[in-house]
Amino acid sequence: MAISASEAHYIIESCLTDLRIDGRSKLEHRPYTITNRSTNAKTSQSANAPAFILSNGSSRIHLPGSTTDVVCSVKADLVHPSPSKPNQGILELNVDLSLCGGGGTLEASAGAGAQKRRRQQREEESQITSLLQRLILPHAVNHESLVVWPGKYVWRLSIDVMVLRCDGCVLDASSIAIREALQNTKLPKVQAVMEKGNDNADNGGSASKNDLLVDGDHHKAVSPRGAEDCPLVITVSVLSSPPSATDAVTSTTGSKRYKSIAIIDARTEEEACASSRVCVTVDKNGMVCGVHTLGGGGAGMEEEGEQVGAGRSSMPISMLGEVVTTASMAATKLYTKLDRDRHVVSSTDNDCGYGYLLRNHFLIQ
């Protein structure tokens, strides 16, 4: 995102005073609205979004008054397990950005730079998918609980994330959507049946017939074990400002001390001003599951003819402790809010939406 030096100066100075451009503090999330297949709305904002009928679980993350809209769908299939992991289920993840940023409009498809934009979009999709696969999928559910018949049949959960619009922190919004969709995923009850029969074709001996018995009753379905412990991604953006001429402090070596601050849930403008971004995956128990460092934005502040923050992917070493503390505190608040809203809305759940007729039964193919 293109941003001028004066805009970057205003944004960074606002964050340093703990009063960001939208009025939030450094540890405050935006008021996301979460809708899914088992509840109609999870915030005070009423949002009546029906579920995906052909999905076993779904969710939607929407930010009122902004350009953030992420949809997640989970589809379950019975497949043969991987030869290397015969006693574990399979999780697959795919991220689609084709509609994000006008990628699916006619205007975006026309022009000389259309192929370049599509290539950049595919690279970004690949990067986001790879990060979510490494940061979330190993801890999303209990993989052993997805086994139906050890060595023969397991559940494969195909997670599709479609980013319709995004105003910063796409990994954070996608992780919330994945966690909510997995918690609302329902797997039908499946039993392995082994029947003995007569085989008179060759030797007249007895043979066994292996089959699966699928119960289509939705009320007997269960959620994947461990879905409630699916971790969330907290992206901590570090914004740095050079010292002014009046209060500049130099050490004995003559190096200047930059003023820095760590914020969460950054908007696109704030991400463009960040000197570094650190993605920290934190589970419900406060344990760190993964860490990944992203590059900084392209904007910055100018000092003595050079641009500070532009293209830099670094931060003061003294900020490491603050980054981890910020991610931990933000994750604790977010988990508390999500669990509280889930319990509040569950008591007022109803059967609105076009999918309520098929909600009590699975489509068995």
Q: What are the distances in angstroms from CA 252 to CA 255, 258, 304, 326?
A: 8, 15, 21, 31
SS3 257: coil
Q: Give me 293's structure tokens.
A: 């460092």
The pLDDT assigned to 197 comes to 57
The pLDDT assigned to 102 comes to 43
Cβ burial of 353 (10 Å; 0-12, 13-18, 19+) is middle
Rounded Cα distance between 33 and 12, Å, is 27
Q: Is residue 324 within a helix (H) or strand (E), and if so which, with residue range?
A: helix 320-346
The pLDDT assigned to 200 comes to 52
Rounded Cα distance between 305 and 296, Å, is 20
The answer to whether 73 touches 185, Cβ cutoff 8 Å, is: no
The answer to whether 207 touches 226, Cβ cutoff 8 Å, is: no
Q: Is residue 55 within a helix (H) or strand (E), and if so which, with residue range?
A: none
The gap from C-alpha 342 to its chain's centroid, in whole angstroms, comes to: 18
Number of alpha helices (DSSP H) and beta strands (DSSP E) in the chain: 7, 14
The answer to whether 278 touches 291, Cβ cutoff 8 Å, is: yes
The gap from C-alpha 126 to its chain's centroid, in whole angstroms, comes to: 14
The pLDDT assigned to 219 comes to 79
Q: Is residue 187 within a helix (H) or strand (E), and if so which, with residue range?
A: none
pTM above 0.85, yes or no: no
Place of tokens 């508390």: 336
The tens-digit pLDDT sequence of the chain (365 residues) is: 678 889 999 999 999 999 998 899 999 999 888 887 454 444 434 344 446 677 889 999 988 777 889 999 999 999 999 999 999 999 999 999 887 754 333 334 445 577 888 888 889 999 999 999 999 999 999 999 999 988 889 999 999 999 998 888 999 999 999 999 999 899 988 887 776 655 554 555 444 556 788 877 777 888 899 999 999 999 999 998 866 544 444 444 555 567 889 999 999 999 999 989 999 999 998 899 999 988 766 554 444 444 444 445 677 787 888 898 999 999 999 998 888 776 554 444 444 433 333 334 444 43
- Best CA proximity match to 358, nearest among 51, 73, 60, 71: 51
Cross-strand pairs, 330: none
The pLDDT assigned to 321 comes to 86
Sign of the C-alpha dihedral, residues 120, 124, 127, 133?
A: negative
The pLDDT assigned to 334 comes to 92
